[in-house]
Amino acid sequence: MDFKVIDGRDYDFADADFVYVANQVAPKKAVLEQVGRSGVTRVVVREPTRKGELLAEAVRYDLPKEFVVEGEGVESPIFLSYDLLLRRV
């Protein structure tokens, strides 16, 4: 497993089997658009809760057309966020 701190808007994700987009990534939707262009099929996005939207960008209701929500994790009241499992359509 490799962890990279990069500007995801410009990164070539073609060799990635899985992408995890952290909660504080911004602009989150632009990064997901780049991931979508790469053909990656497994993506988890850390999504803020309603209160957490004051701290991080939410994308659940504004996903790039390549993705749909397949599942979601348990909300963390401490971090005001939860995981969204996305699937390419």
Dig out the tokens for 10 from the structure. 């410009």
User: How does pLDDT run across 69-83, given as a tens digit for each residue?
Assistant: 999 999 999 999 999
Contact at 8 Å (CB) between 46 and 83? yes
Residue 52's domain comprises 19-88
Residue 6, in any domain of the structure: no
19 phi and psi, to 5 degrees?
Answer: -130, 135
Average pLDDT of every residue of the chain: 93
- Asked, for residue 57, whether it belongs to a domain, the answer is yes
> Is 53 part of a structural domain of the chain?
yes
Distance between CA 41 and CA 52 in Å, rounded?
Answer: 27
Q: Per-residue pLDDT for 60 more than 90?
A: yes
**Number of domains, the chain:** 1
Residue 52 is predicted with a pLDDT of 95
Instruction: State mean pLDDT over 17-34.
Output: 94
Where residue 56 sits, what CATH number does that domain have?
3.30.110
Look at residue 14 and tell me if it is in a domain.
no
pLDDT band at 5 (very low <50, low <70, confident <90, very high): confident
Q: What is the pTM of this model?
A: 0.90
